[in-house]
């Protein structure tokens, strides 16, 4: 098997707000192998984006603060790097694509200038080289008349094309890891499909590892090798994509997959939903964060927070209850 | 690259089609759609057009001052004097000493063969017409120098405060607040009086004083605009691709945040010229006889009780000043209307 590229352990991030300290990420740990795609799913506010921004030290500080953890990347802890070192990594070895392509490009700069920026920064290209490479990249992501379109401003591009530009920029310095933060959420469904297809094709051509953050379980199923489910700032279940969909073990994951609309559903069955709202974490939870919404909840769930434990080779879950038998785990 | 063909291309084709239809002028390309809308909106109301015409006239007067009023003596900025007598002479009075050359437009327009004091003379026989024409240059000079300097100071301090935040922001903005509590014209008066013995009588003491106490508005405006722009996604995207702080601030944030400040600056030119005239009227600034509207006005100080006879000392420079400030204010008003999101779609 290929080697480990990124190893995150015990990552904790907090935000200071007028109402108190919000514990957004509470000890997230995962590994990413070369060429692997990890899907990170969970509902809004569960800490998906904050975890990934923390790895690149991109959360605004203050009010945000990374209080604990390490993120080992090629033998170095990203979280211990100073500003200059981490800037070398950002956009170079690890790059990001963001949710909303309509706002992720600078409206008063031409596409060509924006694309040239990381190339000149990380690859040491001059203007001519950067331009030539930008044309190649735009062609790679399927934008016609690429050389002409470099002179255009973002408002002359459609949403789908802007996201292609964002992806082209993110891939321009041949990163080893691409972090995609809900890259398809702001696009309509047909464009979503194009973007997912594009990323899959580029992954095969370029061989980078991908962390794909989303709350769309369908997209994850089509692109990820492994999936981590997050809730309340924790990873509560992690498994290979097939295992997770076929055999979800955490009550939250079961609820998520159960709430997908099914095309084969017979009759007038109501769509399943998980009762309640995700918690606002003003304290680090001592109980299982999902316990108020869980139908398997036990006394232990309310007093102790379960840790992520392996139940077989490619499946980890953080739950005191074995949801298959319904009894408490040892 | 055979796989290229498998990419659905409906999106691209749609864009191609719309693109050929939509004509994007070079101005819109440079400014972007938002700023383009603002600039075209500026030329739509009668008031703003009057403003632009007024400003244009003053610009032409400043440029063609040597043609309109041919310089007498070595320094054209010195108002020519027709003798030294105290009592002002009315418009049309004969010009005896230091008579300027007659320019080509003069005889056909006025019907006179000899040069007369077109707008009369002030105390000390300073020619008011010369003071007004050459004073236009002083007005632009003071307005532009003070506005450029105050915008520069305001933008630098405001952007540093907004971008770095925290205690830097607090420190800079509290200093700004302290400066804002000081009464502007009084502080400018005191400071330029202190500077005058050091720098001598020239434009600079009032200019420096006005710059020192005039930058706070710009600092506040640019700070608030940067605070909103820096939360935008493209700034995070730029940080995520490893762009340095300074470059993010100056290349990504400032160009998106500077427009409202520039509007305020254009309004500022009128105010600065008015303030400078006030200081000048009070006797601070240039040496006596320098072509400057405030100074021409100040020649009327001793004759205020008999203005029914010597009205021309006040009326001509006063009207000039009024039109100049009105021109900038009309343009500024139009800019404010175009920029105000609540006014969007109206007018």
**CA nearest B11 in A: which residue?**
A160
Residue A114 contacts residue B237 (beta carbons within 8 Å) = no
Using DSSP bridges, classify how beta strands A37-41 and A209-214 pair: parallel, antiparallel or unpaired.
parallel
Q: What is the CA radius of gyration of chain B?
A: 26
**CA nearest A62 in B: which residue?**
B166
Query: Which pLDDT score, from 0 to 100, does residue B151 have?
Result: 94
**CA nearest B8 in A: which residue?**
A194
When mean pLDDT is compared across A113-127, A130-144, A279-293, B325-339, the lowest value belongs to A279-293
pLDDT digits (tens, 9 = 90+) for A33-80: 888 888 898 887 788 888 888 888 888 777 888 888 888 888 888 888
Tokens standing for A271? 């769509």
User: Torsions phi, psi of B168, nearest 5?
Assistant: -60, -50
Written as tens digits, the pLDDT of chain B (347 aa) is 444 445 454 555 555 555 545 566 777 766 666 667 777 777 777 888 899 999 999 999 999 988 888 888 888 888 888 888 878 888 888 888 888 888 888 888 877 778 888 888 888 888 889 999 999 999 999 999 999 999 999 999 999 998 888 899 999 999 999 999 999 888 999 999 999 888 888 888 999 999 999 999 999 999 998 888 888 888 888 888 888 888 888 888 888 888 788 878 888 888 899 999 988 888 888 888 888 898 888 888 888 888 888 888 889 999 999 999 999 988 888 877 776 655 544 44
Give the gap in angstroms from C-alpha A321 to the nearest C-alpha of chain B.
Answer: 40
pLDDT digits (tens, 9 = 90+) for A77-116: 888 888 888 888 888 888 888 888 888 888 888 888 888 8
Query: Which pLDDT score, from 0 to 100, does residue B3 have?
Result: 44
Nearest to B11 among A89, A161, A166 (CB): A161
Nearest to A103 among B3, B32, B232 (CB): B232
Identify the residue among B5, B240, B249 best suited for mutation to test binding to A, counting A beta carbons within 10 A and taking the highest.
B240
Paired strand residues for A16: A21
Identify the residue among A97, A123, A142, A149 best suited for mutation to test binding to B, counting B beta carbons within 10 A and taking the highest.
A142
A153 touches chain B (CB under 8 A): yes
CB contact under 8 A, A91 and B34: no
The residue with greater pLDDT, A309 or B137, is B137
**Longest Cα separation, chain B:** 95
CB contact under 8 A, A121 and B241: yes
pLDDT confidence band for A265 (50 / 70 / 90) = low
pLDDT digits (tens, 9 = 90+) for A173-187: 888 888 988 888 777
Task: Give me the total of CB pairs closer than 8 Å, taking one residue from chain A and one from chain B.
Answer: 102
CB contact under 8 A, A92 and B32: no
pLDDT digits (tens, 9 = 90+) for A91-102: 888 888 888 888
Chain A residues within 8 A of B256 when measuring between CB atoms: 106-108
Helices (H), B43-80: 46-63, 65-68
Q: Helix, strand or coil for residue B289?
A: coil
B107 touches chain A (CB under 8 A): no
The residue with greater pLDDT, A279 or A288, is A288
pLDDT digits (tens, 9 = 90+) for A188-208: 888 788 888 888 888 888 888
A125 touches chain B (CB under 8 A): no
Q: What is the CA radius of gyration of chain A?
A: 21
Query: Which pLDDT score, from 0 to 100, does residue B24 have?
Result: 66
pLDDT at residue A285 greater than cutoff 90: no
Chain B residues within 8 A of A193 when measuring between CB atoms: 8
Q: Which of A57, A75, A66, A74 is nearest to A23 (CA)?
A: A66
Other CB atoms within 10 A of residue B335 CB: 23
C-alpha torsion sign, points B285, B290, B296, B298: positive
A50 touches chain B (CB under 8 A): no
CB contact under 8 A, A91 and B29: no
Give the gap in angstroms from C-alpha B165 to the nearest C-alpha of chain A.
Answer: 9
pLDDT at residue A280 greater than cutoff 80: no
Nearest to B233 among A89, A104, A157 (CB): A104
Nearest to A108 among B4, B12, B32 (CB): B32
Give the gap in angstroms from C-alpha B154 to the nearest C-alpha of chain A.
Answer: 22
Give the gap in angstroms from C-alpha B260 to the nearest C-alpha of chain A.
Answer: 15
Q: Which of A201, A244, A236 is nearest to A220 (CA)?
A: A244
pLDDT digits (tens, 9 = 90+) for B246-291: 888 888 888 888 878 887 888 888 889 999 998 888 888 888 888 8
pLDDT digits (tens, 9 = 90+) for B93-150: 888 888 888 888 888 887 777 888 888 888 888 888 999 999 999 999 999 999 999 9
Q: Helix, strand or coil for residue B221?
A: helix
B27 touches chain A (CB under 8 A): no
Straight-line distance from the first to the last Cα atom of chain B, in angstroms, rounded to the nearest whole number: 54
Sheet holding A309-312, edge to edge: A94-97, A177-181, A209-214, A37-41, A226-231, A234-240, A315-317, A309-312
Residues 6+ apart with CB under 8 A from B147: B265, B268, B269, B272
Chain A residues within 8 A of B16 when measuring between CB atoms: 144
pLDDT at residue A234 greater than cutoff 80: yes
B197 touches chain A (CB under 8 A): no
Q: What does chain B come to in residues? A: 347
The residue with greater pLDDT, A165 or A271, is A165
């Amino acid at each position: 098997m290929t080697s480990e590229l990124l190893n995150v352990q015990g990552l904790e991030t907090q935000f200071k707000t007028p109402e108190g300290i919000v514990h957004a990420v509470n000890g997230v740990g995962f590994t990413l192998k070369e060429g692997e795609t990890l899907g990170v799913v969970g509902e809004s506010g569960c800490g998906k984006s904050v975890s990934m921004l923390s790895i690149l030290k991109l959360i605004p500080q203050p009010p945000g603060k990374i209080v604990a953890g390490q993120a080992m990347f090629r033998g170095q802890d990203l979280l211990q790097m100073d500003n200059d070192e981490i800037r070398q990594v950002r956009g170079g070895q690890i790059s990001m694509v963001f949710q909303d392509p309509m706002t992720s490009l600078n409206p008063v700069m031409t596409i060509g200038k924006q694309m040239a920026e990381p190339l000149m920064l990380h690859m040491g290209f001059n203007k001519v080289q950067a331009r030539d490479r930008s044309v190649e990249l735009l062609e790679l992501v399927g934008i016609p008349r690429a050389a002409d379109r470099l002179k255009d401003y973002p408002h002359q591009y459609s949403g789908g094309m802007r996201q292609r530009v964002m992806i082209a920029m993110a891939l321009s310095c041949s990163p080893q890891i691409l972090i995609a933060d809900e890259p398809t959420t702001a696009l309509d469904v047909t464009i979503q499909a194009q973007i997912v297809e594009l990323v899959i094709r580029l992954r095969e051509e370029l061989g980078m590892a991908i962390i794909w953050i989303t709350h769309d379980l369908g997209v994850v199923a089509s692109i990820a090798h492994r999936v981590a489910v997050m809730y309340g700032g924790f990873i509560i279940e992690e498994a290979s994509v097939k295992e997770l969909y076929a055999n979800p073990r955490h009550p939250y994951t079961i609820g998520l997959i159960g709430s997908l609309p099914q095309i084969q559903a017979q009759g007038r069955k109501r769509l399943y939903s998980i009762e309640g709202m995700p918690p606002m974490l003003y304290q680090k939870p001592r109980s299982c964060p999902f316990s108020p919404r869980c139908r398997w909840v036990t006394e232990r769930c309310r007093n102790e927070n379960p840790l992520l434990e392996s139940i077989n080779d490619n499946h980890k879950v953080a739950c005191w209850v074995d949801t298959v038998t319904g009894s408490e785990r040892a | 690259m055979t796989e290229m063909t498998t990419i659905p291309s409906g999106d691209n084709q749609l864009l191609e089609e719309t693109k050929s239809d939509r004509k994007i002028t070079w101005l819109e390309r440079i400014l972007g759609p938002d700023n383009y809308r603002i600039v075209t909106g500026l030329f739509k109301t009668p008031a703003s057009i009057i403003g632009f015409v007024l400003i244009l006239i003053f610009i032409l007067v400043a440029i063609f001052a040597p043609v309109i009023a041919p310089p007498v003596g070595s320094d054209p900025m010195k108002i020519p004097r027709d003798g030294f007598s105290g009592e002002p002479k009315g418009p049309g009075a004969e010009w005896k000493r230091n008579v300027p050359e007659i320019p080509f437009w003069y005889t056909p327009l006025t019907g006179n063969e000899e040069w007369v004091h077109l707008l009369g003379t002030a105390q000390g026989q300073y020619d008011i017409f010369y003071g007004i024409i050459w004073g236009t240059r002083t007005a632009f000079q003071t307005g532009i120098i003070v506005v450029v300097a105050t915008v520069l100071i305001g933008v630098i301090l405001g952007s540093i405060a907004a971008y770095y935040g925290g205690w830097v922001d607090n420190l800079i903005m509290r200093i700004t607040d302290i400066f804002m509590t000081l009464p502007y014209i009084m502080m400018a008066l005191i400071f330029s009086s202190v500077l005058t013995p050091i720098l001598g009588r020239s434009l600079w003491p009032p200019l420096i004083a006005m710059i020192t106490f005039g930058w706070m508005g710009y600092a506040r405006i640019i700070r608030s605009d940067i605070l909103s722009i820096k939360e935008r996604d493209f700034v995070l995207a730029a940080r995520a691709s490893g762009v340095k702080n300074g470059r993010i601030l100056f290349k990504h944030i400032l160009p998106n945040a500077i427009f409202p400040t520039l509007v305020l600056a254009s309004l500022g030119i009128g105010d600065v010229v008015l303030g400078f005239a006030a200081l000048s009227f009070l006797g601070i600034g240039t040496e006596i006889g320098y072509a400057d509207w405030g100074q021409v006005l100040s020649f009327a100080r001793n004759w205020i009780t008999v203005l029914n006879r010597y009205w021309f000392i006040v009326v001509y420079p006063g009207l000039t000043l009024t039109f100049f400030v009105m021109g900038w204010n009309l343009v500024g008003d139009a800019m404010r209307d175009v920029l105000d999101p609540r006014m969007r779609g109206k007018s």
